[in-house]
Structure 1
Amino acid sequence: MRYLINIIALILIMTSVSFAQSFINVSAEPEDSFNAVLVEKNGKWLHVLKVAEGRVEVLDSFQVLTGRVDGDKRVQGDEKTPEGVYFVTGFLSPEKLRAMYGEVGKQYGTGAYPLSYPNLKDRLQGKTGGGIWLHGIDPSRNVPVTKGCVAFDNEKLTKMADYIKVGTPVIVTEEGLKGTLDDLRAHFESAKKLVTDYMEAWGNSDFDAFSAAYNPNFKDTAGRSLENYLKYKKNLMDLFPYRKVSADGFRIYTNSDSETVAEFTQFYCAPNVVSYGRKRFYYEQDGESLKISAEEFMPISSESYVREKVHEFLLSWKKSWESLSIDDYMANYSDAFSTRGMNNAGWREDKSGKFAGLENVKVVIDNISFKAYSPVSYAIEFRQKYSGDAYSDTGIKTLRVKGCPGDFKITSEIWRAE
């Protein structure tokens, strides 16, 4: 039987390659690379997928056991395998299983990978239960179903250690979605556009477009209805009209034509707060469109992101200075700029005169540090080496900037000789 299953898996993989088809249940940016697991309940297949360079490659395929009862899991004890997007949360070794369950732990074979069921959307929809795992099988087991888990040969379970880790996405679906490479890319770009259009509406305080992105059944993590959530968001938009929001690092997980999860890195900045982290939008079909039915945010430190934006700003400012283009150079300065008795207009006039007499300028920057006084106010200090035609100097420069990272404008600058 195992030999037959392996032959079927090999034929499946060869067919997929020969027709240039790919599973489009998972996709990501071309520079991203990770593994994912796809479980097809119809046919009882598990596929290990490698996502890289904008493609999806099948690394392994084999048959599995799923829940005794067909359909999507709803409640504790219904013996159904859930359908959705989940993530590996750990690994339970045989020793750990025996310590937890005694002799009963033997039924899980050589180990188990717990999954994050119920996910946020499941919980908000009132689904119950837990203990959904990818696990091995006791060799003496002769029952061809599980109580909701996904179970398979111990040899394959051991091999999974080469493919998956904590955080690996696991898409459990009735049947996998397949298509060509063009289909994969089109699907990714379509889902990504849902998010980027939303971000643009949010950043521009386009409340109508912002609110239209949500499913009427939406609930936030606190359980608030869509109406109450949108009132809260509208109040923030009115209180803090200046904000900067961005999204990148997209991964798209699709359970079916009517359910998709978009995961991405979000940066949000306004005068009252700055935040950075991974966000997930759970999309569900509403009429002819996919709309957000739930969203969750996993914060991480914004320090590395802010540092990157500081360095990007300094590089742009340095290049504009070296180009001797007064318009490009002054684009880095706030209308409210003031230093050494000069306002923005006076600084422009002073620099225009100096630029006119120069042919070559070289600026070297190092020892960069910065301090945040608020989400929209920073002091950036660095060592500056300047050389221009017959003159050069070295000193410490401090730029005071206003605006969110990625949107800086210089309000003052101080230079002291070293």
Structure 2
Amino acid sequence: MRNLHARTCVLIACCLWSLFAIAGAEAAAADARVHSNAESQLLAVLNLAQQGEYDTAINDLSDLIEARPNFRLAQLVYGELMVARSGRSIEPAISDQMRDQREALLDEAKTRWAHRVSAATDGKVPAAILQMAPEYEHAIVVDLANNRLYLFANEQGVPRLVSDFYTTIGRGGAGKQVEGDMRTPIGIYHITRYINDNGLPELYGVGALPVNYPNALDRARGRTGYGIWLHGVPRTTYSRTPRASEGCVVIANDDFESIRDHVNVGTTPVLLTTGIDWVPAADVEKRRTEVLSAVESWRHSWQAIDTKSYLTYYSPDFVSDDGRDKPAFAAYKKQVNASKTDISVDLNNISIFRYPGEDRMVKVTFNQNYTSNNYQAEDRKTQYWQQSEDGDWQIVLETERD
């Protein structure tokens, strides 16, 4: 049984990208994180096949298929192993359509195998999450380049990885620009509502979590489109191939249900990015402190009614959510501050995220309590800060809660 046709090795070792270091990684990954059980079973089967335990692999895969008859990738691997064990060619005479479907499923297998766990288990954190306010109990980060969704818990402002799952993205890839381009957006969003399967076509599976694309930055950049959701799959399939949606983020129904209870409508941030930079916590702390210092200096200038200094924190390219550019905004602020004799500005519940797809930009959100001699207001504010080449941080966009 160990003398399988040589092409089997191509399927298992090359087509599946020779990623069988999973055996060693499984021990490192045996922590509190939650993975898709079906995916874990499939990867274990492939690991057995790589070790030459073909009979055990086929038997275990048979059990998986019995439990998950709609898991098409598992069925493909089962069929290929059975053909290879018989000594026949791994490339049967099939139609072009079936060959395309097979290649798409093999891409799914490669993607699942390529998922690395070491960076997430050695004390590193995602560089994109600099600080999470207490209201954000969890955060979702989707690595569009590697088809992986990560769920993080908020532990005193620091993200802790809870679970990760294979995901499908848009047929056009990442970086949505216009309606109909079939791309998944890159950016930071939040869940706007939960739709259960009673109100959905079967395409969306057990439920959907729409996000607020396009956000204020998207609109400022001229991006169009709508209807970007995180949702499940039809019950006739366990998962979809890596690029198969119209721009949504799609995960298995089991995986959707496992994260649904961790989502708070209106607050849970969803970061859609291409690649995750796992860094030591000290690196995040350094950047967090740097950004907080800029925000505090901005607040202090405003509170001191130092309008000239205050306006230096706004980029020449600044635009407000009501359409004011920098000159119009400056004129407005000078007029408002002319009547002020006393200003107090308190900020709390500050969250800071690096903005994916933008050069040296962070998204800062906070609750703002403003009191002056003739006005008082409590607001939720979002600011997009960008670092210039000389290291200064300036606000490029400011809006009410986005």
Which TM-score bucket, shorter chain as reference? 0.5 to 0.7
* Distance in 1 of aligned mates of 2:215 and 2:386: 15
Which residue in 1 is equivalent to 2:189?
86
SS at match of 2:195: coil
Correspondent of 1:25 among 128, 136, 140: 128
Amino acid in the other structure paired with 1:217: D
Correspondent of 1:220 among 313, 320, 323: 320
1:249–1:111 CA distance, 2 compared to 1 (3 A): same
Correspondent of 2:216 among 108, 120, 141: 120
* Distance in 1 of aligned mates of 2:118 and 2:174: 30
Which residue in 2 is equivalent to 1:265?
367
Q: What do you get for the CA RMSD once the two structures are aligned?
A: 2.5
Q: CA deviation at 1:162?
A: 2.4
SS at match of 1:217: strand
Which residue in 2 is equivalent to 1:281?
383
Which residue in 1 is equivalent to 2:335?
235
1:218–1:6 CA distance, 2 compared to 1 (3 A): farther
Structure 1 residue 16 corresponds to structure 2 residue 120:
yes
Which residue in 2 is equivalent to 1:156?
255
SS at match of 2:378: strand
Which residue in 1 is equivalent to 2:344?
244
1:9–1:258 CA distance, 2 compared to 1 (3 A): farther
What are the equivalent positions in structure 2 for 1:70-149 lying under 5 Å apart? Answer: 70-97=173-200, 105-140=201-236, 144-149=243-248
* 1:121/1:293 contact within 8 Å kept: no
* 1:32/1:51 contact within 8 Å kept: no
The alignment covers a number of residue pairs equal to: 291
* 2:134/2:349 contact within 8 Å kept: no
Q: CA deviation at 1:29?
A: 6.3
What are the equivalent positions in structure 2 for 1:45-84 lying under 5 Å apart? Answer: 45-84=148-187
1:170–1:248 CA distance, 2 compared to 1 (3 A): same
Percent identity, aligned pairs only, is 24
* 1:251/1:264 contact within 8 Å kept: yes
1:208–1:280 CA distance, 2 compared to 1 (3 A): same
Q: CA deviation at 1:271?
A: 2.1
* Distance in 1 of aligned mates of 2:393 and 2:235: 44
1:55–1:192 CA distance, 2 compared to 1 (3 A): same
Q: Deviations over 1:340-376 (max 9, x none)?
A: xxxxxxxxxxxxxxxxxxxxxxxxxxxxxxxxxxxxx
> Which region of structure 1 is more displaced relative to structure 2, 56-65 or 207-216?
207-216
Higher RCO structure (Cα 8 Å, ≥6 apart): 2
SS at match of 2:175: coil
Which ranges in structure 1 are unaligned for 5 or more consecutive residues? 98-104, 300-418
SS at match of 1:218: strand
* Distance in 2 of aligned mates of 1:32 and 1:175: 26
Which residue in 2 is equivalent to 1:188?
288
Higher Cα radius of gyration: 1
SS at match of 2:173: coil
* 2:341/2:373 contact within 8 Å kept: no
> Which region of structure 1 is more displaced relative to structure 2, 197-206 or 251-260?
251-260
Q: Deviations over 1:96-146 (max 9, x none)?
A: 11xxxxxxx111111100001111121222221111000111144655421
1:113–1:6 CA distance, 2 compared to 1 (3 A): farther
Which residue in 2 is equivalent to 1:35?
138
* 2:133/2:349 contact within 8 Å kept: no
* Distance in 2 of aligned mates of 1:53 and 1:107: 38
Q: CA deviation at 1:2?
A: 2.6
Q: CA deviation at 1:192?
A: 1.6
1:71–1:162 CA distance, 2 compared to 1 (3 A): closer
1:184–1:225 CA distance, 2 compared to 1 (3 A): same
* Distance in 2 of aligned mates of 1:23 and 1:135: 24
- Report the TM-score, using the length of structure 1 for normalisation: 0.64
SS at match of 1:116: coil
* Distance in 1 of aligned mates of 2:294 and 2:252: 40
Q: CA deviation at 1:182?
A: 1.3
* Distance in 2 of aligned mates of 1:78 and 1:29: 32
* 1:54/1:185 contact within 8 Å kept: no
1:209–1:174 CA distance, 2 compared to 1 (3 A): farther
1:60–1:80 CA distance, 2 compared to 1 (3 A): same
SS at match of 2:314: coil
Correspondent of 2:394 among 288, 291, 294: 291
Greater share of residues in strand: 1
* 1:81/1:149 contact within 8 Å kept: yes
Q: CA deviation at 1:233?
A: 0.6
* Distance in 1 of aligned mates of 2:273 and 2:43: 22
Amino acid in the other structure paired with 1:147: E
Amino acid in the other structure paired with 2:158: R
* Distance in 2 of aligned mates of 1:214 and 1:84: 22
